[in-house]
A and B are shown apart, each in its own frame.
Chain A
């Protein structure tokens, strides 16, 4: 371990490693003298204070060095590249073989469709833990064509998967800006100010209704908090794989959201019941009875139909906006939706 860090005065240490102070602040230690070294600071803590903090001098030294090592690994590893993710089928609930081998690459969107309870979440879970025939489905997941090492599978620092879950219950009592800043600092981001601005601007592009940097998280609508989380994951999370359990329709531009994740070279897997999302990817996985029953390429006609559905969706959205603006919806709806001819 890099023992010399203990002997570098704080003044210089903080210039090279701005996060170095975090460790000490987190245990309530502060210093004023920039010539003081971490070793001296640790030494200055008396036995009783140590005891109260549940630490020992030796442990504090090793923890500090370990923290510094992980922090620098977090910074370096924060742009972990991934070339491919492979899903090799196992069996469904009746033990029937899935007979599939799927390869996904950065920028791919794969939708997972199937009835509720069919096993869509299980597939996401298999990917999350990089199953090696050791989950109930017997599936195997490969990273860059290889079996991931134990290290890659189990160490949180190396987590390749970010999960956008359906429930966005924020338990921290913060505003949007401070929340993103807190996340950014835990990801060792250097330019926190600009990062926060970028995430919030991006979230506002995805959200139907704009919110302020100073809006409390608890005041955000469902769509706004979803948008914030998608922007945050795209711009701040280092994980190259994003699992999404359905993006609701409410107040979020889903096409833009997916485009953003694709642009950031994420591999996106999304379970959905929504036809527009399902047709947006190039392929989709159909699940039934706990197993993958088919992998369907999005065909030409489907792509055409997607544009029709999107146009239709845009119209519904515009009606929503009219409602919001306090307008009446008393015009010829059949004509507006292009159903007039058929109605005749």
Chain B
């Protein structure tokens, strides 16, 4: 079974892109399964089932969604194999722009949207920097010049990635993307596999339920701000 991880900021168009791409994939690749990772509630399963795709949702609740992802992705692979999928796609919203669910040897996609501004590509960390494919959505809403600038900035953030435009509504460009999905390698287990980049450390009292503020409660992994004031034009 081929595995693909799709990540991107909230509302970037991940679900739309996956659905349009799956339309092509299912034509020549067979059965497709989806795993949607979210923290609180996710309504995407409706969109997926409407599109005729089998989907499970994982809600991380009060855990960091990406920690939750890593602890569960191998089980997802086992589920996918049992169901006999040919392709399994995981969708997760990178909430802190620092996390990335990308795994070495597994095709990694980052979805970003043109409307989020030309500086956004620089602000997204490993999720974009370590992706194999950067998909840009909502190009229909901006001008050709803005599309070109945005693509350039994406390429600046990750010169190694293939950059593609996909329209999540009309599906334009989804064929191109399905073609790249096809190159994903087969997995049977992620036991022993590695993440491409470490997930932010998060061991402090607040992680385990502390709500009081104050020095006395700042233990474990504490990082303090350096108050360096910005100088104009620097």
Contact = CB atoms under 8 A, between A and B. Distances in A.
B17 to A, nearest CB: 15
A66 B11 CA distance: 30
Interface in A178-203: 179-180, 182-183, 186-187
Contacts of B127: 54
Contacts of A2: none
B153 interface: yes
Interface stretch (A137-145, A150-158, A257-265, A314-322): A150-158
Interface stretch (B71-79, B112-120, B187-195): B112-120
A86 interface: no
A182 B125 contact: no
B159 A67 contact: yes
Contact of A54 (B100, B140, B146, B165): B100
B58 interface: no
Q: Interface size for chain A: under 10, 10 to 19, 20 to 34, or 35 or more residues?
A: 35 or more
Contacts of A53: 125
Interface residues of B, number: 44
Interface stretch (A7-15, A38-46, A101-109, A230-238): A230-238
A221 interface: no
A281 to B, nearest CB: 21
Contacts of A232: 143-145
Contact of B197 (A54, A70, A179, A182): A54
Given A26-B156, A54-B125, A55-B129, A129 B172 contact: yes
A169 B180 CA distance: 30
B156 A163 contact: no
A127 to B, nearest CB: 11
Contacts of B163: 155-157
A171 B148 contact: no
Contact of A134 (B159, B162, B175): B175
A72 interface: no
B93 interface: no
Max chain A Cβ within 10 angstroms of own Cβ: one of B140, B149, B234: B149
Contact of B143 (A125, A155, A170, A187): A170
Given A54-B197, A182-B149, 4 more contacts: A134-B175, A156-B151, A162-B144, A168-B143
Interface of B: 98, 100, 114-115, 117-118, 122, 125-127, 129-130, 140-146, 148-149, 151-153, 155-160, 162-165, 170, 172-173, 175-176, 179-180, 197-198, 234
